[in-house]
Amino acid sequence: MRIVVTRRVPEAALDILREAGEVWMSDVDRPLSPDELRKAARGAAAIVSMLHDRIDGTVADSAGPGLRVVANVAVGYDNVDVAALAERGVLVTNTPGVLTDATADLTFGLLLALTRRIAEGDRLLRARRPWSFHLGFMLGAGLRGKTLGIVGLGQIGQAVARRAKAFGMRIIYSGRSRSAAEAGLDARFVPTAELLATADVVSLHCPLTPETTHLIDAEALAVMKPGAFLVNTTRGPVVDEPALADALLHGEIAGAALDVFEKEPEVEPRLLELDNVVLTPHLGSATVETRTEMALLAARNVAAVLSGGEPLNPVHP
Ligand code: DGY
């Protein structure tokens, strides 16, 4: 059974996949083009995909009727047309849980880098600009007593909330429905409009869906407080990037930290020029341990399905 792996994965995951079938792994250090992806998929029983691969009905058709599972190495699966695959009898799996702490850690790192001007200070020193300590020098914003607004209190949102509590922040959250986790986190459910209007830091943890695409647009940014910060570690298209650049340039909010981008890997050029913006290249899950766990989980999902068992992490249309 042919198993197609669209981008290099750790050896430990390959070992599992090799037990389950005959592995073909892309050896180019870039995402496959849509054509290359369709070509590679031919005859596949399983595809191990990355978040940059668009896996739709055309890819499944190219694989043919033997395709049984697409294992996406990510918790997000907006790159996979789950409904089109379900119509063709193909299962889809993702990798929840294993990247929760790594992503929450990075979210908090960005939040601190932004509010305490860490990246900006680093740039100042590297530029060898003169400086001296004084009481008004490069002041940032403290977190104790401030309100963190979490959009989407799923596993990652909850992990961010736990970290925020340790920093003395108040937690409010919004989402499709109230979360059973709110009591343990002392978090208050509010409508998104109220969250945007009252939070000192807004952190995005909702999945990318048609409803959350451009959730943070010009109108939403105008509602935020002028002193508020925005952090996005979920998916780029949740934020309208040109509208964010406008809002920052007009002082509508105090700053933004982004790990994900609307047209990844491109970044809205005006954001690159702003000192009150911190940018990282989709590093949320980027620790050795977490990326290995993600690949292992995807491989285990493939092995389970190809051996006739149930997938460990099925996603549903
Ligand atoms: C995911 O798993 O969806 C993350 O974006 C990968 O870091």
Which of 50, 98, 234, 285 to probe ligand 1 with, by most ligand atoms within 8 A of CB? 285
Q: What is the pLDDT of residue 122?
A: 98
Catalytic residues: 235, 264, 282
Instruction: Report which ligand 1 atom has the smallest distance to the Cα of 74.
Output: 2
Give yes or no for residue 157 CB within 6 A of ligand 1.
no
Whole-number Å distance, alpha carbon 131 to ligand 1 midpoint, is 39
* Protein residue whose Cα sits closest to atom 4 of ligand 1: 74
Token output for 58? 């055309």
* Protein residue whose Cα sits closest to atom 6 of ligand 1: 74
Token output for 138? 């490069």
Q: What is the pLDDT of residue 299?
A: 99
Q: What is the pLDDT of residue 238?
A: 98
Q: What is the pLDDT of residue 234?
A: 98
Q: Which of 191, 192, 250, 196 is nearest to 223 (CA)?
A: 196
Which of 7, 49, 99, 290 to probe ligand 1 with, by most ligand atoms within 8 A of CB? 99
Classify each residue of 56-72 as buried b or exposed e, where b means 16 or more C-beta atoms within 10 Å of its C-beta. beebbebbeeebbbbbb
Residue ranges for the chain with pLDDT beneath 50? none
Q: What is the pLDDT of residue 149?
A: 99
Give yes or no for residue 99 CB within 6 A of ligand 1.
yes
Instruction: Report which ligand 1 atom has the smallest distance to the Cα of 294.
Output: 2
Whole-number Å distance, alpha carbon 215 to ligand 1 midpoint, is 19
Q: What is the pLDDT of residue 131?
A: 98
**Rounded Cα distance, 248 and 277, in Å:** 9
Residues 258 and 240 sit within 8 Å (Cβ to Cβ) = no
Over its C-alpha atoms, the chain yields an Rg (Å, rounded) of 21
Segment 133-145, tens digit of pLDDT: 999 999 999 999 9
State if pTM tops 0.95: yes
Give yes or no for residue 74 CB within 6 A of ligand 1.
yes
Instruction: Report which ligand 1 atom has the smallest distance to the Cα of 283.
Output: 7
